[in-house]
A and B are shown apart, each in its own frame.
Chain A
């Protein structure tokens, strides 16, 4: 389906008088321009989309107010429609004619990989948040990409380990039949087996699907204690809804391997209660996360997903690195981004590794019962903090060519 490419421009910053600053930053074309390239209206528009743009704008406003930079910052945006060719073309156009310095968000793996490549050729930076697959910082890593909020290694690892530890030893997978689903299933199976559980089988469903009852029936017949949902978005939502209908839950439990708070919100607690999931961010975790999230809520009327909060954090860190480096040249900025720890409401002592992965703590959450939820968006118990070094692929196992062994 054709959707009008939406381009909105926001002039977000005013330059301070350069005379006041000790050493003026030299930025190309006198302006730092961020391009938010995301899914504005499709399947992933609730988890990234307009919220990603708003979070990026908030980061710019806060940075200008707090750090008083001596350069101008501007944010533009476009809908990449989850298509690799469209996003690569848009990125090329932005780099060549619109003087964009960094691209933010990128919500499917295919678009992220396509844009990362173009950005690297043009010596510009990609701040990936919405997309999750591991090749972004593994086989296909490059030295101008940072991957921020989560990946498909960190999520299932946390969830599977915790669920096995809680006694969910036997697993059955309902897997979306494409590369993403297969890799999610494989990553999770490995962890389940390593943690002492066993995998009884799996069923692959066509993507996208709407009726999952036959697949759920197979999962039910397997007798597995845990049904792992190696799919995403609407597929996960419908699987959970129908599992409840067919009386599968609560006898067998479900593990969502890629779930966002937006999914829980749209399903409601009645259908999702008790589920385990791993997230890179939860708005109601502490004072700091609440303060920021409430500001975000004021603007979007929804609480942020980990991708949207990650967009803010990544953008802010990027701008700070420009200020510290005194230039917006990609390699110099990347060096500063790696050098400076990430300390904000999103991450504590987060670190950008050589492969581009921003390593930070992840959180194992359990969805609350409806009776435990006291106010809107009060959805998770945080059951465990998974230290960043355990959550993400260790550098020793990395296939990224930038990692020296």
Chain B
């Protein structure tokens, strides 16, 4: 059976791959959305922190002998703590200023972090093996699905919707949302807002590092892996609506699928299709698909 001259099997395969890529977009844009929502910082260092996550996993494995499963838990904590350090020492001075200052600071940080890794590890990067338990794959009939990719989709969905649930449906989440609306009032109710902001930034960064660990076995771990991805992820956030949690998750997955489809019909355009959509969305709904006009 063919759809527009493409065998349906090929189509299914490409859609599945789109979904896998979409889960990376979702998890990264979720971190950005959380940070933007509460801190009003456009975190340009997100890509570099994602790269740091991947490298920390590699360092853990190669230098310290820590396996993938340990890295999956430990690396987000370590990189998240590094993020909190950045927030405490640098970002907190910028909250009263225009978005542009935060963007420039984090952009500078991204360049510095990338430069340091490039200096130490070279540009070709390092190879991280797929963990034993998840090597091999399933034959789905229409394609060979590596177990690891299936794991990536599953764990990303759990993390994304788990984060959404915490933020939108729990008491802790209600503090966070109140913080984005009116921090002064929340402070008056006795909530330690600066601490909450630090922890939120740490959480957003930890998500980036988590995505980095997830990506390490499928992509070559190299110092520029984050800067290749960050622009696409920003487009996802803009399309979803800056600061919208559900928006970033749904848009991330959706755009992964659209990108997958483009690769079937016109592969040359697969790198631009997301930006074309971004242009159209900005013209029709400047606040993004799920965003609110402020």
Contacts and interface: CB of A to CB of B under 8 A. Distances in A.
Interface in B197-252: 217-220, 222, 224-225, 227-229
Given A217-B13, A234-B220, A245-B130, A210 B229 contact: yes
Interface stretch (B97-105, B182-190, B262-270, B279-287): B262-270
Nearest to B221: A266
A177 interface: yes
A284 interface: no
A296 to B, nearest CB: 16
A221 B224 CA distance: 31
A265 to B, nearest CB: 7
A41 interface: yes
B260 interface: yes
A183 interface: no
A263 B126 CA distance: 10
Contacts of A238: 219-220
B124 A210 contact: no
| Centre residue among A42, A233, A237, A270 by max chain B CB count within 10 A | A237
A206 interface: yes
Nearest to B232: A210
B127 A218 contact: no
Contacts of B263: 214-215
B126 A246 contact: no
A99 B123 CA distance: 32
B127 A209 contact: no
Interface in A193-252: 203-206, 208-211, 213-215, 217-218, 220-221, 233-234, 237-238, 241-242, 245-247
B228 A208 contact: yes
A1 interface: yes
B225 A210 contact: yes
A268 interface: yes
B21 A211 contact: yes
Given A204-B267, A213-B17, A234-B125, A266 B220 contact: yes
A268 B127 contact: yes
B220 A41 contact: no
Given A266-B127, A271-B127, A241 B10 contact: no
B166 to A, nearest CB: 29
Contacts of A233: 124
A266 B126 contact: yes
Given A210-B228, A266-B124, A267-B127, A245 B146 contact: yes
15 contacts: A41-B118, A204-B267, A210-B225, A211-B21, A211-B219, A217-B10, A217-B17, A238-B220, A241-B220, A245-B218, A262-B124, A266-B122, A266-B125, A266-B220, A270-B129
Interface of B: 7, 9-10, 13-14, 17-18, 20-21, 111, 115, 118, 122-127, 129-130, 137, 143-144, 146, 148-149, 217-220, 222, 224-225, 227-229, 260, 263-264, 267-268, 270-272
Interface of A: 1, 41-46, 177, 203-206, 208-211, 213-215, 217-218, 220-221, 233-234, 237-238, 241-242, 245-247, 262-263, 265-268, 270-271
Closest 4 CB pairs of A and B: A206-B271, A266-B124, A214-B263, A46-B124
